[in-house]
Structure 1
Amino acid sequence: MPSLVDYIIYTFIKIDDSLNKILEEYDRPLRARVFKPKLSDSEVITMELIGELFGIDSTVGIWRYFNKHWT
């Protein structure tokens, strides 16, 4: 059975690969901002998905979990 770290990394890789394939069809980036975001779209989607799988049902709760345990 994979560790939690391995599972999160695997999930990120699958999301990143899938998102890159989807975005190849568009002429512009997913997010267009003046500033460069600290997290990539794939990182945010991974955090949200993992947080939901853990039963954390708010974005703030997910952010707190990852900020406490993974920074």
Structure 2
Amino acid sequence: MNLTKFDLKLVPGYEEWLAAKIRQLSVEALTQQTLTCNACGEIAGTYIIEYEGQTFRLPGEEALAFLAFIAESSA
């Protein structure tokens, strides 16, 4: 099997979709006293997330997964 490695950032619309999903989940995560610096992600490429007294700096895909985990854990 030959898998081609590619950069998702080259897929048209992917980065915009990712940023929008992270913003949406950031709002949902506020109910769990979770704060997300979205400007950090747009400028520096990593998001700062404060959750349960800890601060995490995560790249976009990991930030999305972590925020989804937080939102789904509260449901």
TM-score range, shorter chain: 0.3 to 0.5
> Which protein has greater RCO, CA pairs closer than 8 Å, 6+ apart?
1
Kindly indicate which of the two structures has a greater share of residues assigned to strand: 2
